[in-house]
Amino acid sequence: MPLLILLVGMNDSGTSTFFKQIRLINGEDFNLKQRLGFREAIYENIIQGMWVLVKERNKLGIPLQNSANEIHEISFTSDDCLRVKFTEPSAFQPYVEAVDSLWKDSGIQETYRRSDFKGHEYFICDSVKYHFDNIQRIGQLDYLPHNQDILHARSRWTTLEDMYYVLRDTPFVVAQSSILPFIARMKFNFRDTTILFIIGSSDYDRMLYDSNCLADSLSIFKSIINHKYYSSSTIILLFNKMDLLREKVQTADIRKHFPEFQGDPHRLEDVQKFLVQSFKMRKLKNSGPIYYHMITAVDTENIRTVYNTIKHAILSKNFKDFLQL
């Protein structure tokens, strides 16, 4: 029977990005159909992101630096742009100049700074900056996304199948699961299961549907770690988005959302320690060991190192290279 590595995490925690990285590390590149699907998703990410920024700029009353950009904003002032089917680059082409010009405007930049990722006033996907910064390349008529573009893409429709491979004569299955069907996935017939629980470390001030993202992650983790189905499973916490956390702590104050925090809210090490301790507190005394690692899922070399360490630790049942809660 194969070993199961199951990736679990809240929406936008980086679970799908980590899964894509594992595919690439194992030599499973994306085929043309998948790349075309991700291209459409990237176009949609960009349009939706700019639609949010234009709407919020007007709501916040932030002036545009260049008054000529008022014309470009017209493309994003109604919901019509969200209904366009971007199956071909030609459908996206009319928006490229507007996106490029607006993104360079200090008024839009200030609006982005005040998003809940930066300034906690509204929600916008944290990967949108990458695509805006690359709009001229993405806007070419012959554009086909490369791997880094795909790693930053948020797609509702492009799904990837579970991976099966063999390491040292041992079969592995790597799967990703949303929270709701999680228990069903655990009932599959596997010799052993390792759960990689992925956390958006920079999400401590992000709100989704009036609920704090980190608080939701803590709640789900508590239900998993203390459930009988997982008592014999190896659990590894992956604190993702270290790049964003490093940037966020410079200006954000975690105490606004977690008043129990003690330490310097602008010191990375203090915030990391608090995150680890918060998850540790959800663990019952009689549960097994839980390991953790700090990662940046969009960094392929970082994930290659971490994932190889995970695989060899599973095979040898030796987790000496991991920190323990």
Query: Residues marked as binding for Mg(2+)?
Result: 16
| Residue list for the binding site | 16, 126-127, 240-243, 297
What is the C-alpha separation between 146 and 138, in angstroms, rounded? 10
Two structure tokens written together for 61: 């009353």
Given CA atoms 104, 53, 131, 10 in this order, what sign does their dihedral have?
Answer: positive
What is the C-alpha separation between 179 and 220, in angstroms, rounded? 8
Two structure tokens written together for 140: 């070419």
Two structure tokens written together for 193: 């299961």
Burial class (CB in 10 A: 0-12, 13-18, 19+), 210: exposed
| Residue list for the binding site for GTP | 126-127, 240-243, 297
Tell me the C-alpha to C-alpha distance, in Å, between residue 204 and each of 157, 191, 201, 253, 256: 27, 36, 7, 10, 10
Reported residue count of the chain is 325
Tell which residue, 50, 45, 201, has the closest CA to residue 117. Answer: 201
Contact by Cβ (8 Å): 265, 243: no
Is beta strand 3-9 parallel, antiparallel or unpaired with respect to 163-167? unpaired
The helix, strand and coil proportions of the chain, stated in percent and rounded to the nearest 5, come to: 50, 15, 35
Is beta strand 192-200 parallel, antiparallel or unpaired with respect to 3-9? parallel
